Structure 1
Amino acid sequence: MGIRLTGKEKAAVFILSLPDEDAKKLMEGMSEDEIREISRTIARLGQMPEDVVREVREEFLTRFANQALNVRGGMQKVKDLIFKVMGKEKGRHLLKELQQGPKNTPWEILNEMEPTLVATFLANEHPQSIALILSQLQTEQASFVIDFLAPEVQQEVIFRMAKLGNLPPGALEDIEESLLAELEAMGASRGLYTAEGGGGVSKVAELLNLMPRETSDKLLAFLDEEDNPLAEEVRKEMFLFEDLLLMDDKSFQTLLREVSNDELLTALKGTDDRLKEKFFGNMSERAAEMLREDLEMMGPVKVSDVESSQQAILKVARQLEADGSIVILGKGSDDVVL
């Protein structure tokens, strides 16, 4: 391509190359801010050479062809799409309707059971079976359940989950029928369906993110011994409190607006100076000074309380990212912000 274009300029060229009706449909799916930005870019563009337009379209089609193979459903995907198309307020109403529908799978039941009961229910299962079952539960529930398993079982389950790939449709049918019969026999109540589904490195990284640091460190050490390259893949996918340093300032400020001062104060206790300065630098001078003084005056805090506050902030960050409100460039991310 003779002319170097930015990402926005490529998007503008691609839209202009479409028939008006197709361009209209494409822009209807954009947010108001996105429409404003693309409109400004289009207004600045001059006449584009045909070879440039052709290369832009070919690049788009190539990227689309590569990404289209990685198709995965689940409630989180539904939520992301609904929020983008309908907005958060209307989207929440539709999600509520979807979530209150009939509950017909064991995953729905296990997601709403007390984690201790699920751990007891799975205690006599083979680690491979436990890994398969937990891979189908929502991440937070699975992390709680693993925490109640025996240490040696935790290690085996995490290792086997990391090795799991995406299961083909129909692969779980026999397991579902057997589990459902056992759960109904013990009178397990049914609840809200929020299953995410799927094992693999990403699932294990999400689970470890939600566990106490001591537990996750031990499980990672076990993975290192069993399969070091696999452990490194998991580490790259994990989002730790220190990774907040990798967020851009605009996203950081959005996160700060959603976090309580008490939660932040506890979370920053014992963190390194670079991360503290990142927080201070995204506040007003007065707010930063008050936080510094509060930290200096703060007495000893339990490590478990610090980790709990840090996890709460990370949970908010992940939710904001899922809503499209912030961008997180975590460890191992290949994302590029244009």
Structure 2
Amino acid sequence: MKLTGKEKAAVFILSLPDDDAKKIMEGMSEDEIREISRTIARLGQMDEETVKAVREEFLSLFENQSFNVRGGMQKVKDLIFKVLGKEKGRHLLKELQQGPKNTPWEILNEMEPTLVATFLANEHPQSIALIISQLNAEQASFIIDYLAPEVQQEVIYRMAKLGNLPPGALEDIEESLLAELEAMGASRGLYTSEGGGGVKKVAELLNLMPRDTSDKLLAFLDEEDNPLAEDVRKEMFLFEDLLLMDDKSFQTLLREVSNDELLTALKGTDDRLKEKFFTNMSERAAEMLREDLEMMGPVKVSDVEQAQQAILKVARQLEADGAIVIMGKGSDDVVL
């Protein structure tokens, strides 16, 4: 059985008592531990002849001993926890289970948004829309914000018109992206996504973008296709939509929001929404918040929007976890 250098190292470490294996791995860098762990995870049952051959190569003193070596994720877990401790070990295990970031979409999700925007600048708006539709919403919103205004409009419009993409629809784009990313030093790996754009994806992106930018893009959609723009609005979740929450859900949200964020977010908001917050707090907490708002000086609009977006992000996560219900949005309304 022909083994690579990494596989030989993995077999040798697995053939040692745990304490000895730990000592060897303690002398490795985190990158080396990551590589050897991936190799161990891929190993199956190793025959005795192969193990002996590996040990003879590494250490002739062990040539007459028999060993039973088996890899797998459990062995990786035991070794990593012993070497790195539970906290770092869990992080590395999660990374191992997810696999290396070598697909074009994973690579673009990890890149700086400004770099991705520059990378996509010369692409056709339809191609940009397809590419961005495959990225996570937060990264996509940052990238769009760095595109030229006229490109933003075209990309958002084309994304809203996209449906779910069938397998194989992105193969040409993937190959092109992989070639360009590879030239930049990125890893190569093919991945076919079945995700896509559409009204919900556009609404999610606009939710995460600065309010003035999202308003301009919605105005453009209104001009191009008013029914489409209305569909996007129905799916959007704005700070004012917190009024749609029942009191129990609202109180759950309040427990997850910091006082500083709440104070900034409420600056200059609608009185009805402020009252919604006040009535779901204790009398003392509500009074203190009122006083703080009255004493608060001018606040940048961008700071208010940032605080509101932070609270909305918490609300969306709580809703996704089933901890709260936000009524009246999209097709998932509840019947009371």
State if a TM-score over 0.5 links the two structures: yes
Q: 1:215 to 1:29 in 2, by over 3 A?
A: farther
- CA distance in structure 2 between the partners assigned to 1:275 and 1:67 by the alignment: 75
Q: 1:55 to 1:159 in 2, by over 3 A?
A: farther
Q: 1:83 to 1:5 in 2, by over 3 A?
A: closer
Q: Which moved more, 1:63-72 or 1:94-103?
A: 63-72
* Corresponding residue pairs, total: 336
Q: 1:52 to 1:93 in 2, by over 3 A?
A: closer
Larger radius of gyration: 2
Q: 1:334 to 1:53 in 2, by over 3 A?
A: farther
Contact 1:83 1:323 in 2 (8 A): no
Moved runs in structure 1, 4+ residues, more than 6 A?
3-95, 189-196
Q: 1:190 to 1:302 in 2, by over 3 A?
A: farther
Q: Deviations over 1:119-149 (max 9, x none)?
A: 0000000000000000000000000000000
- CA distance in structure 2 between the partners assigned to 1:170 and 1:93 by the alignment: 33
The alignment partner of 1:206 has SS state of helix
Q: Which moved more, 1:172-181 or 1:257-266?
A: 172-181
Deviation at 1:331, TM superposition (A): 3.0
- CA distance in structure 1 between the partners assigned to 2:279 and 2:59 by the alignment: 41
Give the match for residue 285 of structure 1: 283
Q: What TM-score do the two structures reach when normalised by structure 2?
A: 0.70
- CA distance in structure 2 between the partners assigned to 1:145 and 1:274 by the alignment: 34
Q: Deviations over 1:309-328 (max 9, x none)?
A: 00000001111111221112
Deviation at 1:96, TM superposition (A): 2.9
Q: Which moved more, 1:120-129 or 1:34-43?
A: 34-43
Q: Which moved more, 1:178-187 or 1:240-249?
A: 178-187
- CA distance in structure 2 between the partners assigned to 1:67 and 1:337 by the alignment: 71
Contact 1:103 1:193 in 2 (8 A): no
Q: Which runs of 5+ in 2 are unaligned?
A: none
Q: Which runs of 5+ in 1 are unaligned?
A: none
The alignment partner of 1:67 has SS state of coil
Deviation at 1:238, TM superposition (A): 0.2
Deviation at 1:68, TM superposition (A): 54
- CA distance in structure 1 between the partners assigned to 2:317 and 2:282 by the alignment: 24
Q: 1:23 to 1:79 in 2, by over 3 A?
A: closer
Q: Deviations over 1:189-242 (max 9, x none)?
A: 799999993200000000000000000000000000000000000000000000
- What is the identity percentage for the equivalent residue pairs of Structure 1 and Structure 2? 91
Deviation at 1:179, TM superposition (A): 0.5
- CA distance in structure 2 between the partners assigned to 1:57 and 1:306 by the alignment: 64
Q: Which moved more, 1:103-112 or 1:143-152?
A: 103-112
Contact 2:42 2:72 in 1 (8 A): no
Q: 1:198 to 1:72 in 2, by over 3 A?
A: farther
Q: Which moved more, 1:168-177 or 1:85-94?
A: 85-94
- CA distance in structure 1 between the partners assigned to 2:232 and 2:59 by the alignment: 31
Contact 2:26 2:83 in 1 (8 A): no
Q: Deviations over 1:228-285 (max 9, x none)?
A: 0000000000000000000111111111000000000000001011000000010000
User: Aligned Cα RMSD in Å?
Assistant: 16.6
Contact 1:76 1:196 in 2 (8 A): no
Give the match for residue 305 of structure 1: 303
